[in-house]
Structure 1
Amino acid sequence: MSARPRTQAMPSRRLFLGATAATSLALAADLSLGARPAHAADSAYVMGYFTESPNGVGTDYGLHLAVSTDSLNWTPLNQNAPVVTPTEGAGGLRDPFILRKREGGFVVLATDLKGTDWSYNSQTIHVWDSTDLRTFTNYRRPHLHDMTTHSWAPEAFWDASRGQYALLYSAVNASGHNVLMVNYTSDFATVSAPQVFFDPGYDVIDGDMAVGVNGVNYLYFKSSSAGGLVGARSTSTNPGSFTPFSTTVAHGGTEAPTLVKSLTSSTWYLWGDTYTPNGVFYAWQTTDLAAGTWTPVDQKLYTHPVNAKHCTIATLTSAEYEGLVARWGAPAWNRLKSYNYPARYVRHADYLARIDAYPFDPYTDSQWKLVPGLADTSAVSFQSVNYPTRYLRHYNYALRLDVNDGTATFAQDATFHRDAGLADASWASFRSYNNPTRYIRHSDYALRIDPITTATDRADATFSVGY
């Protein structure tokens, strides 16, 4: 998707980082947004998002959920289908935000917009209450303002100085550019009059904050003029008090800044959602938030749900995590990511197997069921999700997607032993059943089975099995 108009650039939400229960309470005292308050018993994470894919095959404007135990690698729930969809307004959502309320349970906020009609101006947002993110109740659409503009990317934090939640969102001001607005609320139903929270004099969207870090509050936002993420800071949370200070962070066109503090180290992470190409997340890190400079995180370390856009992350207890998996279920399929080209995934194209850069459509070309091996049930075979009568098999050493003809030869060609990754034992490599000196590897992005002798070969033959 091309970038949105300068004053209509669509916002995005937050991503992830690991936590330990021992440090959760200490961080909760400092951070009300960016890393939402965690409980001492929290041990897992939930992500909320909507989905878009390049040709719309995987597009859905309902609330999707995924879970993680490390906050880096995510398991989509409900087969990556929505768990709730708005019934009023535009009939769809963007930019969901999940907040654990001080009084217990969760509140879910979202932009009232279905699709990419940036001229659609809604003065309301979608809101649900939820005890455990397994059911969603008390759906409502609070009215935030009376301006002829939108209410994009709502999110909230507890403002202790006011004893209320601060509800931030993007809207166009009288000068014709996006600013960050704020309303204050106790129940996400009745809100105060809107105020301008941050206006540096140019177009900004997607505000994300880290509150009370060594006495300083940090606000990261998307600057449309800079084409990336920029930080501002203040010693208070008062509207109008923030001043930009950081360098611009970007990978292509980048929006949706998400600040998260590691709960096991001094590292801060800044996540961004790109719109060129559409729907790819990148992460940067620093150990000095005050410096305002960032270095990229290796893409091998994280995998977000397929087609996920504009995310939000909240922490979960182990019971909440298990309850979500029990309620919605884990996927019946996997994706395989290349070790040395982690932006690329195994997919079939014209019935040939290869690794291609994500995103692409049909995205289902990259989804596989790892079933018991056709020739040996202790091994695996790769069954296509969108062509379920077809399996990956080697033929003249090249991998292709063929219909199972029921012969012993086909079964053997389509069976592989899953071994520890040749380049990284925490990943996986796949050894041919009937050519046991050869492994699946990519060569010029095409998949084949070859003998493995060099470090490059080992990297080419190593994959992560995720979602």
Structure 2
Amino acid sequence: MSASVSPSSPLPGGGARPSRRAVLGAAAAVPLAMAGVLSVGAGAAYAADSAYVMGYFTESPNGLGDDYGLHLAVSTDGLQWMPLNQNNPVVVPTAGAAGLRDPFIMRRQDGTFIVIATDLKGTDWSRNSQYIHVWDSADLRTFTGYRLLKLHDMVTHSWAPEAFWDAGRGQYGVIYSSVNSSGHNVIMVNYTTDFRTASEPQVFFDPGYDVIDGNLAVGVNGVNYLYYKRNQALVGARSTTLTPGSFTPFSTPAAQGGTEGPTLVKSLTSGTWYLWGDTYTPNGVFYAWQSNDLAAGTWTAVNQRLYTQPVNSKHCTIATITAAEYTNLVARWGSPAWNRLKSYNYPGRYVRHSGFVGRIDPYPFDPYTDAQWKLVPGLADSAGVSFQSVNYPARYLRHYSYNLRLDENDGTSAFAADATFHRTAGLADSSWASFRSYNFPTRYIRHVDSVLRIDPVSTATELADATFSVGY
């Protein structure tokens, strides 16, 4: 039955509503009741799953990286992410607002994928939509059956939709944030078998105060966990059933600044659970927490050295995939033609140029392309490496009076030597990287007061200053 709520519904959503900035979005998924399937919380995993796919949209501080289509990234460990399609969208909605936020990817009971998302382009939080975007996909390489799914007739929004399989009902539930008759956001639910029509909406979770961004982990030792945003933090509730109204808050908050968009993911190789959230202060930084016991409701922050989000990514969804699906996604969409370099001792900072000076600065920033580099064979020695700017491709990082700056290649042997470095095992961590000057081989690239230069290094601080990760 299609959703239908009369104007006299007890859920009108009228009056002043909180701004989206005060309430933004999330992402997750839920397990399948199917032979050979593992419950991993946010997402359904086949026993053969060994990798992860992330969906997201993009925004950057000054809007240069804003894109409201579906973006994909992949990971083998669920922590270090590689964006696909050069961090461009793989599919873009054409109906409704012709843009999406808060995408969600779930593997359905038949092994194919469903993608749903908020119908909103940009940040006009006053725009209400009773619909969500929907795509079918066999493999996340092609997207078919694009449509809008109507969830209600209320004059309010349908933010951050996510889906789960309710085995007791034999239907999928679609949860989303909307406004109730008291004027605060609650988590609603509709039920569907085909993501084409849906039942009438019900209140799924209303603790009596404003909550958004519901994210479910289903059937974890007989308990279902719902994480959501409350008061700029991520908080959990739990229930032994999936019955609307049955969830009870229990956890301690997890937050780093104003945090939203919770995403629960269980490691495929250990008992560790990760809780992802992103912030709007500063804009769009992902943080991660970990726990070995969901029932405890307590979380420990993960060191930022251990994870790297796709550039400009916002409000992610994470699902598990097989090794073959990982390989096929990379073959279809391609790996980035550029890299980013992250500081070891300031892992929230990335190597960039600003005013043609080499620096490390806190992520995010615009122009975000200032931090994208093509690592090409060394101009003076092909066994080395040179750093070619993506947004100024005629320019390379080179040292001049030991300071690093972005200069145009003049074709001289002196420039080539100044712009060539030898990559070595990281001086502070051998799994990272350090870069030794070609023509001053006792000196390494390091940062001093956020500015890059080449220096001799010996102390623990200097070794850490000279260590970077090469990722995306």
TM-score by length of 2: 0.93
- Indicate the residue corresponding to 2:303 in structure 1: 298
Matched, 1:416 2:421: yes
Cα displacement (A) at 1:269: 1.6
Map of 1:95-114 to 2, 5 A cutoff? 95-114=102-121
Segments of structure 2 that go 5 or more residues without pairing to the other structure are: 1-16
Query: Paired residue for 2:323, among 313, 318, 322?
Result: 318
- Indicate the residue corresponding to 2:247 in structure 1: 242
Map of 1:294-443 to 2, 5 A cutoff? 294-443=299-448
Looking at structure 1, the residues matched to 439 and 49 of structure 2 have their Cα atoms a distance apart, in angstroms, of 47
Segments of structure 1 that go 5 or more residues without pairing to the other structure are: 17-23
Cα displacement (A) at 1:35: 2.8
Q: Do the aligned partners of residues 46 and 295 (structure 1) sit closer, same or farther apart at CA in structure 2, a change above 3 Å counting? A: same
Q: Do the aligned partners of residues 339 and 14 (structure 1) sit closer, same or farther apart at CA in structure 2, a change above 3 Å counting? A: farther
Query: Paired residue for 2:26, among 13, 19, 29?
Result: 13
Map of 1:48-127 to 2, 5 A cutoff? 48-127=55-134
Name the SS for the 2:46 alignment partner.
coil
Offset from partner CA, 1:23-81 (integer Å, 9 cap, x none): x9999989767332211222221111100000000000000111111111111111101
Q: Do the aligned partners of residues 439 and 220 (structure 1) sit closer, same or farther apart at CA in structure 2, a change above 3 Å counting? A: same
Map of 1:446-465 to 2, 5 A cutoff? 446-465=451-470
Cα displacement (A) at 1:267: 2.1
Q: Do the aligned partners of residues 28 and 109 (structure 1) sit closer, same or farther apart at CA in structure 2, a change above 3 Å counting? A: farther
- Indicate the residue corresponding to 1:256 in structure 2: 261
- Indicate the residue corresponding to 1:281 in structure 2: 286
Looking at structure 2, the residues matched to 164 and 11 of structure 1 have their Cα atoms a distance apart, in angstroms, of 27
Offset from partner CA, 1:361-383 (integer Å, 9 cap, x none): 00000000000000001100000
One-letter amino acid of the structure 2 residue matched with residue 465 of structure 1 = V
Matched, 1:192 2:205: no
Contact preservation (8 Å) 2:265, 2:318: no
Looking at structure 1, the residues matched to 209 and 123 of structure 2 have their Cα atoms a distance apart, in angstroms, of 22
Contact preservation (8 Å) 1:7, 1:172: no
One-letter amino acid of the structure 2 residue matched with residue 425 of structure 1 = S
Offset from partner CA, 1:316-372 (integer Å, 9 cap, x none): 222211111111111100000000000000000100001000000000000000000
Name the SS for the 2:352 alignment partner.
strand
Matched, 1:270 2:283: no
Matched, 1:233 2:261: no
Looking at structure 2, the residues matched to 329 and 286 of structure 1 have their Cα atoms a distance apart, in angstroms, of 33
**Number of corresponding residues:** 455
Query: What root-mean-square deviation, in Å, do the aligned CA atoms of Structure 1 and Structure 2 show?
Result: 1.9
Looking at structure 2, the residues matched to 31 and 290 of structure 1 have their Cα atoms a distance apart, in angstroms, of 19
Contact preservation (8 Å) 1:33, 1:208: no
Contact preservation (8 Å) 1:260, 1:268: yes
Identity %: 76
Cα displacement (A) at 1:195: 0.2
Contact preservation (8 Å) 1:124, 1:144: yes
Q: Do the aligned partners of residues 49 and 122 (structure 1) sit closer, same or farther apart at CA in structure 2, a change above 3 Å counting? A: same
Contact preservation (8 Å) 1:31, 1:212: no
Name the SS for the 2:268 alignment partner.
coil
TM-score by length of 1: 0.94
